[in-house]
Amino acid sequence: MTTQSPPGPRGLPFVGNTHQWARDPCDFRERCAEEYGRVVNYEIIGWDAYMLTDPDDVKRVLEDTETFPKHESSIDKLREIVGEGLLTSEGDRWERQREAIQPAFFMSHIENYADIMVSRTEDTVERWRDGGTVDLREEMTRTTLEILVESMFGEDIDLEARGIYEAVEAMQGPLEPQNQPITFLAPDWAPVPFLRRANRAHDHLESQIFDILAERRRADTDREDLLAMLLDADAEMDDEQIRDEMLTFLFAGHETTALTLTYIWDLLSRNPDAETRLHEELADVVDERPTIEDVFEFEYAEAVVKEAMRLYPPAHEIRRSPAEAVTFGDYAVPEESLLVMPTWVLHRDERFWDDSEEFRPERWLGDERRGRPEYAYFPFGGGPRRCIGQQFAMTEAQLVLATMAQEWTLTRDYDDLELSAGVTLQPKGDVPVTTERR
């Protein structure tokens, strides 16, 4: 079979397509998909990139981790931040870590976290006042971080006293969209302020984690949090490995859910019929406060979460790298290049989604759910490396949403959200909303 190089947009000397991509990565990838089709070749930040827009190609890559491991250059900076945790490890090491951690995310354990999810959300809304204004993104981020920390370490950890919230925020600075070119291109010795802040935050969190580990070992009490489960597996994990896993969850375990909740409220504010239908379901299902049993009964609330993640997938792209030269159809892709699977593009592809720009939770109900390729929708990735926290995140998003929506409506004066695509898909700047008691 004759193969050829995939088509793609022309770039500039030295920088390739970095300038086009940096202005708006999501729009750039959409335009590339429309113009060039199944496989698109472009160059960003010195990487030879190949974007895949066929769900079957995405399935092949995500389900074959041996041929398509993670892209090393993309995760080098993550390793500097979180070490060799589940997010950044490969091969046998990753398999051992996954096996040790997976039981913590079985539904039987997530049920133990459900009351934490509701209680911390109740703490959030208790601070609101009728007719007041809050920054939606900040409120969702703090809520999901509080849920994560208590689920990881137990209720006796004080985020404020230990400086965890500020440190997690600083650690994420190097991978903010506007900082990424400097992060990936600056030499290690460069005195970049946000890199220095991230390094200090890393050291601070590492110290806090070791302190918590030491306290837990001295206490020798029965617990059901994530740390207790990792300590039970200490024949497989030393303290350094447990530290890396804790750093990984602090770095990546709350932000995507916080973003999903931010987008949900934005979408509900623009779609009052959907919000009315959500309230009707909550009135039918929830007795006094939401419970894990209610989550099993939710249909429309789950559809709202899924539809928000279709339109605004926090993980807007997934990256891999072929360990050998491969082909996709007639197109040749070289070894060790960057493979990009654009969640944003496939989630809005008119081939698979009618009225793809519209927020329609109903598309996740009844017969509308059927007939699409499996990888037309993959907000949590896929294959063996599918996000380990998928069920936790879906449960959390529904319980936080239900707890808030029972008593509050969040509205904002409308311009469309401006987005910024870094490691995650984020709103640009604050998202002010008015809190109105129902």
Domain of residue 65 covers 18-437
**Any idea what the CATH number is for the domain that residue 79 is in?**
1.10.630.10
pLDDT tens, position by position, 43-97 = 987 889 999 999 999 999 999 999 999 988 777 777 877 778 888 888 888 888 8
DSSP 8-state secondary structure symbol assigned to residue 339: E
pLDDT of residue 402: 98
Integer CA distances (angstroms), 219 to 49, 228, 232, 263, 363, in order = 51, 12, 14, 41, 50
What is d(CA 32, CA 7) in angstroms, rounded to the nearest whole number? 9
CA distance 162 to 300: 39
How many other C-beta atoms lie within 10 A of the C-beta of residue 177? 18
In a domain, 13, yes or no: no
Per-residue pLDDT of the chain (438 residues), as tens digits, is 568 999 999 988 888 888 888 888 899 999 999 999 999 999 987 889 999 999 999 999 999 999 999 988 777 777 877 778 888 888 888 888 888 888 888 888 888 899 999 999 999 999 999 999 999 999 999 999 999 999 888 877 788 888 888 888 888 777 776 777 677 767 777 788 888 888 888 889 889 888 888 888 887 667 777 888 777 755 467 888 888 888 888 888 889 999 999 999 999 999 999 999 999 999 999 999 999 999 999 999 999 999 999 999 999 999 999 999 999 999 999 999 999 999 999 999 999 999 999 999 999 998 877 889 999 999 999 999 999 999 999 999 999 999 999 999 999 877 778 898 888 899 988 999 999 998
pTM: 0.93
The answer to the question of residue 7 being in a domain is: no
Count of domains in the chain? 1
Query: Residue 12: inside a domain, yes or no?
Result: no
DSSP annotation of 195: H
Question: What is the Cα–Cα distance from 104 to 102, expressed in whole angstroms?
Answer: 5
Q: pLDDT at position 108, please?
A: 84
Q: Would residue 6 count as lying in a domain?
A: no
DSSP 3-state assignment of 274? helix
Residues 6+ apart with CB under 8 A from 398: 290, 295, 298, 301, 302, 305
44: closest CA among 27, 25, 58?
Answer: 25
What is the dihedral sign for C-alpha 46, 51, 57, 62? positive
A 10 A CB-CB count for 415 gives 6
Domain assignment present for residue 11? The answer is: no
Residue 9 in any domain: the answer is: no
Q: Decide: 323 and 67 in contact? Cβ < 8 Å.
A: yes
Residue type, 8: G
* The pLDDT of residue 284: 97
Within a domain: 335: yes
The answer to the question of residue 326 being in a domain is yes
The burial class, CB within 10 Å (0-12 / 13-18 / 19+), for 127 is: exposed
